[in-house]
Copies of this chain bind each other. A is one copy, B any other.
Amino acid sequence: MSTRKTPRGVPRKAACSAIAFQGARGAFSEEATRRLLGQKVEVLPCERFEDVFRSLKEGRAEGAVIPIENTLAGSVHENYDHLQNFELPIVAETHVRIVHNLIARQGVSFSQLKRAFSHPVALNQCLDFFARNPQIERIPFYDTAGSVKMLMEEGLTDAGAIASSVAAEIYGGRILRRSIESDRQNFTRFFLLRKPEYARRYPFQAGANVPWKTSLVFTTRNIPGALFRALSAFALRDLNLTKIESRPLRGKPWEYLFYLDFLGRVDSPNAQNALNHLREIADMLRVLGCYPKGA
């Protein structure tokens, strides 16, 4: 991509071709990044979500991958806030099943393990495993992938770490037990973001039969039935919703922000009519992106 012709004033070669994400190398966000852009993608791990957005905005990264909702834990409101503040469009989505693996150094066997390090959320998602293996103590660590890195660097032979298979691969760990999470219905949805000019020049490619999705945020006036009227913009045009969520606006009782996804391309006449109709009803409306529906 960096060698294609670009309009005047836009650098011919991107300063950086990495994809930013939050967490250490091997985090589930890296798994999502590979799923979206291939195994050889260059990555830029960041400490906070805000850093991820800032890296893309300021050109230290060429794209960003962020989690937006999880089947057990719900929507990541913080990232919805950043999507609005940074105005970086969504160009693709994907879903990753959160699989926790017990990982150790090469040559270490399961019977040697006395401790397992990981992020407390991951440890809590493996409680059935720990109930069956009371000889292994749970030890909280800063993040899932980072616990594998630490294990390898410190040379621990009585300890394992719980993380993704990508983390095992990156740090050279050995997977002793696969998929030890209690609930297999644990999926996270991720968005790929680009800079607006990049998204316009190189639209994300999708197969002919893949439906498109459009994501919006809007607020409605403080009147009864406002949401009902807002949804009429879609229902009257047979546009199918795939997500609707209200979020109270803090400090503004009775006012709500809505997240809405519908199936359709934002540039289709039907969607344009729906958005024009919604603008009559909504106080604020912002399109966050239009992208091929993920598998």
Interface of A with B (CB < 8 Å)? 47-48, 69-78, 119-121, 123-124, 127, 138, 140-143, 185, 187, 224-225, 227-229, 231-232, 234-235, 238-248, 250, 254
Contact = CB atoms under 8 A, between A and B. Distances in A.
Contacts of A124: 48
Q: Which 7 A-B pairs have the closest CB atoms?
A: A74-B74, A228-B235, A225-B235, A74-B75, A245-B245, A140-B142, A228-B231
A250 B98 CA distance: 14
B228 A240 contact: no
Contacts of A227: 231, 235, 241, 244
**How many copies of this chain does the complex contain?**
2
Contacts of A138: 142
Contacts of A119: 120, 140
Contacts of A243: 246, 248
B244 A224 contact: no
B76 A74 contact: yes
A138 B48 CA distance: 15
A228 B234 contact: yes
Nearest to A240: B224
A261 to B, nearest CB: 9
Contacts of A70: 77
Contacts of A239: 224
Interface centre among A69, A185, A243, A246 (most CB of B within 10 A): A246
Contacts of A71: 77, 247-248, 250
Contacts of A229: 235
A228 B250 CA distance: 26
